[in-house]
Amino acid sequence: MATATHGSSIIFPTEAFNPLATLQSIQEHGATALYGVPTMFLAELDLLASGAVAPHGFEKLRTGIAAGTSVPAELMRKLHRKLNLTELVICYGMTETSPVSAMTTTDDPIEKRISTVGRLLPHVTAKVVDPLDRSRILGVGERGELAVSGYLVMKGYWGDPDKTNEVMIPDENGTIFMHVRPVLPFSRLCFPPSSRNRQQ
């Protein structure tokens, strides 16, 4: 969507992920952003390390999104050094929440980008609750069940109202929250929100 609203191009080098085609497309077209999950980035770095792809043509690359799982600090540093992804951001979410609930920003310190998933997006609410008593919101650093609410929450699982009712639970005000377990302590999930976002 951002490519359409900002008048930029999007490159699909192949129908399915191919690290060689991805790197060659970046070199050929002067791409500025790269999206992926850590295993995809590792495959691309392996091609550079082996010499299968020349280590030039990545000067315009600067940003992108890493998601799908946590990004180890050393991987983030390699992406900065080898692919110039100094403004790479981390996203957290799931299919049921369309799919990003929180993300870091390009100007967040690297420590925040590798140890958290940033801040909640605008109009998103999240809380960590006791899985045995979902009305009890847990404190910072306590492990529990993540609950997310907002415009991004799905309507339900297709043809499976029982499964939907297991995970989509209204709070005392009738607000529907999508529940996910297990979760990291809330202190690692997000760092202090901006005034536009609210964390309970």
Q: In terms of domains, do 128 and 80 share one?
A: no
Domain stops at, among 22, 57, 85: 85
For residues 176 and 44, what is the distance between their CA atoms, to the nearest angstrom?
40
Q: At 91, which helix (H) or strand (E)?
A: strand 87-92
Answer for the pair 170, 97: CB distance below 8 angstroms, yes or no. no
Q: What is the pLDDT of residue 99?
A: 84
Q: In terms of domains, do 32 and 81 share one?
A: yes
Residue 195 lies in a domain: yes
The DSSP annotation for 98-109 comes to SS-SEE--TTS-
Residue 71 lies in a domain: yes
Residue 92 lies in a domain: no
Residue 107 lies in a domain: no
Q: In terms of domains, do 187 and 132 share one?
A: yes
Question: Could you tell me the CATH number of the domain that includes residue 21?
Answer: 3.40.50.980
Strand, helix or coil for residue 63: strand
**Whole-structure pTM value:** 0.81
Mean pLDDT per 10-residue interval, the chain, length 200 residues: 84 96 97 96 98 96 92 92 95 90 92 88 94 91 91 95 95 93 54 44
Q: At 111, which helix (H) or strand (E)?
A: helix 110-115
Instruction: Domain count for the chain, please give it.
Output: 2
Q: What is the pLDDT of residue 183?
A: 55
Range of the domain at 38: 2-85
